[in-house]
Chains A and B, each alone.
Chain A
Amino acid sequence: MIVLDRASLRYGPILGLSPTSFELPDGGGITGLLGPNGAGKSSLLQLVSGLLPPSGGEVRVFGEAPFRNPAVLARIGLVPEGDRLPAGLRGDRWLSMMGALSGLAGGPLQEALARALETVGMADRAHLPFVRMSKGMRQRMRLAQALLHEPRLLILDEPFNGLDPEARLGLMDLLRRLAAGGARVLVSSHILSEIAQLTDRILLLFRGRLLAEGSVLEIRHLLDRHPVELRVAGDPKALARWAVEQAELAALRLEDASVVLSVRSPRDILPRLQQAVADGRLPVHALDPLDLNLEAVFQYLTQDHL
């Protein structure tokens, strides 16, 4: 669906994105676009949403270059960053203006408006002027605008910024439902816990370069320089006795009612652990991988590239 082939973006002398290649296959699902401030997230989204042409290389969305290409743009919905809307304007009027800009008119426009407002749950509040809407409501209106033409690809740049927790959770739910309906959703954020809550498929950008793409678990397995930490709850002494005999053990730490094993290759040791527990040789109540999460993956990846 999205293909970047050594695509780069420079703004004069300023680097937006170093030459980057990756491919996001067709189909629904949410992909989180992650990176520190200035990593190139907005640049990547600008390339993919056809706002700017690449300085070098090639960008293809739905098989074509998106820049100034109505055929592609008509299938993309974009929710740009920020919260700037004409304060005094009524939400539904603004929305129908936006629909008219996409070439909708008359009956189809009314239908599209009703459907989009229904999807974002704003049907009964869209008549309010923006100034009387909360930040969460305005974000929903901005999302409705991107949904008017039923895009297959939905791009959101930092959509959770400034929202309160409830509005955040509501928006996440909405994005999950859209993704379940077959749209591909690309969400950028610099807050790891948000993306972790939303999806496990990520694109990780750092210093203008793509560092990783895929599911958190897959990426973590590729980072084999860093042993995986497993907290195993059970009788610590019995667990420690078992663990020291395993070749993959790199380090072991005893806690009150558990041990933390640092293991080099979890693919090899975990089946044996499972076998031992299943046979009743090891008492284990819980198994918790401490650094198989997005936070750890992000930290290892960015530290390795410092």
Chain B
Amino acid sequence: MIAFENLDVRYGVASPPALRGLTLSLDQGIVGLLGPNGAGKSTLLKTLLGLLRPSAGGGTVLGVPLGAPEAAKLRSRIGYMPEYDALIEDASAYEQVAFWGELSGLAPEAARDRAHEVLYFVGLDESRYRSVSGYSTGMRQRVKLAQALVHSPELVFLDEPTNGLDPDGRRRMLDLVLRVHGELGTGVVLASHLLGDVERVADQLVILDKGEIRAAGSMAGLRRALAKRVELRFLETLDAAQEAALAELGSVLEARGGLYDVELAEAEPAAVFRWAQAQGATLIQLTPRHDRLDEVLLRALHGAPAGSEA
């Protein structure tokens, strides 16, 4: 989907590179893009859209080399859902989605049909003919998503799509993101500040900081399974004696809100059940411990420089 080789991007000849030495290869899928504010997310997006040319190195997006004359045509093959409220307030959802479709190269008739279909897809039914100025946050986010999908792009860039949504709206938006990839086969780049969102939908991860890639690769590869580490939870809260007895299993690395992170002395899970049985506690959770996304992020930002892993 996206491949970069030592890509540098500058805003001016004299200015320092906003993206430095990006080497990256992403497969068709849902890519979570994490990074502090000012990490270079918007520069990356502008580069993908062909609005900025690489000053060194290069790469391909959807098979088109960056900086090539045909890179400008990429924009009709990419959809973009901005973070901010980029809605035309005095137009209805239907009118503006059709308008964006026409700007991407659809004929007027096709754009109108397509606008209706896409609005159904995102779940906006009767309200589509009303001016968007009266829409709720959830509806506005859906219009923004419909706008990004109207021309059936091969890749969509979603910038904070769950911003301002409540739990229910957030769940539905993330389900939509999964459907965008699952049903439509569209590649997704999802930039978010919420690790929970990225964890829920992404199969690949890119961590960007100060214009450099700190970690990249498949989610499964980055979230290593930690050998012999398990998370334990019990039906009833453990008393002090039981907590102390946990040491028999191995070393307790962290205990938070009834969840114990234990490095087992022996790898056999049945031993944990036997221990619980002996202690009169009932296990309700025994799961192998993987790196949490926040650990991956903090390690990438502060720890030893993680190599790029495709």
A interface vs B, CB < 8 Å? Answer: 34-37, 39, 134-135, 162-169, 190-194, 196-197, 199-201, 215, 217, 266-267, 270-271, 274-275, 277-278, 280, 283-289, 292, 295, 298-299, 302
Which residue of chain B has its CB nearest to the CB of A36? B166
Task: Select B36's contact among A37, A164, A196, A215, beta carbons within 8 Å.
Answer: A164
Q: Which residue on chain B has the smallest CB distance to residue A303?
A: B168
Binding site for A on B (CB under 8 A): 34-37, 137, 164-171, 193-197, 199, 233, 235, 257-258, 269-270, 273-274, 276-277, 282-288, 294, 297-298, 301
Q: Are B195 and A164 neighbours in the complex by a CB distance under 8 Å?
A: no
Contact A288 B287 (CB under 8 A): yes
A265 to B31, CA, bound (A): 39
* Contact between A271 and B269, CB atoms less than 8 A apart: no
Please pick, from A197, A267, A285, the residue contacting B269 in the complex, using a CB distance under 8 A: A285
A270 and B258 within 8 A (CB): no
**A168 & B258 in contact (Cβ 8 Å cutoff):** no
Whether A163 contacts B193 by the Cβ 8 Å rule is yes
Nearest B residue to A218 by beta-carbon distance?
A: B237
List 3 A-B pairs, minimum CB-CB distance, nearest first: A193-B196, A36-B166, A200-B257
Query: A168 — which chain B residues lie within 8 A by C-beta?
Result: 193, 195
21 example contacts (A-B, Cβ-Cβ < 8 A) are as follows: A35-B166, A165-B297, A169-B298, A190-B166, A191-B194, A192-B196, A193-B197, A194-B196, A266-B235, A270-B235, A271-B282, A275-B277, A277-B270, A278-B273, A278-B276, A283-B270, A285-B269, A286-B288, A287-B283, A292-B284, A295-B171
Assess the B284–A191 pair: CB atoms within 8 A. no
* B297 contacts A192, C-beta separation under 8 Å: no
Alpha-carbon separation in the docked complex, A165 to B298 (Å): 9
Residues of A with C-beta under 8 A to B287: 286-288
> How far is A111 from B294 in the complex, measured between Cα atoms in Å?
34
Query: Which of A165, A167, A193, A277 has the most chain B CB within a 10 Å cutoff?
Result: A165
A267 x B274 contact (CB < 8 A)? no
Chain A residues with CB under 8 A of B168: 36, 299, 302
> In the docked arrangement, what's the CA distance between A163 and B298, Å?
15
Name the residue of chain A whose CB is nearest to the CB of B197: A193
Q: A165–B36 contact, CB under 8 A?
A: yes
Task: Compute how far the CA of A159 lies from the CA of B169 in the bound complex, rounded to whole angstroms.
Answer: 20
- Whether A193 and B282, one on each chain, are in contact in the complex, defined by CB atoms closer than 8 angstroms, is no
Given the known inter-chain contacts A191-B194, A193-B194, A267-B235, please indicate yes or no for A165 contacting B34, CB distance below 8 A. Answer: yes
A288 to B301, CA, bound (A): 31
- The docked-state distance in angstroms from the alpha carbon of A275 to that of B167 is 38
Q: Is the beta-carbon distance between A287 and B286 smaller than 8 angstroms?
A: yes
The reply to whether B284 and A280 contact each other, CB–CB distance below 8 Å, is no
Complex CA gap A191/B284 in Å reads 25
CB atoms of B270 and A287 under 8 A apart? no
Q: Which chain B residues border A199 with CB–CB below 8 Å? A: 257
| A147 CB to nearest B CB, Å | 23
Smallest CB-CB separation from B200: which chain A residue?
Answer: A193
Whether the Cβ atoms of B277 and A164 lie closer than 8 Å is no
In contact, A286 and B269 (Cβ under 8 angstroms): yes
Cβ A289 vs Cβ B282 within 8 A:
no
Minimum CB–CB distance from B223 to chain A (whole Å) comes to 15
Quick one: given A274-B273, A277-B273, A278-B277, are A167 and B196 in contact (CB under 8 Å)?
Answer: no
In the complex, are the beta carbons of A191 and B297 less than 8 A apart? no
Chain B nearest CB from A299 CB (Å) reads: 7
**Also in contact, A164 and B193, with CB within 8 A (given A134-B37, A287-B287):** yes
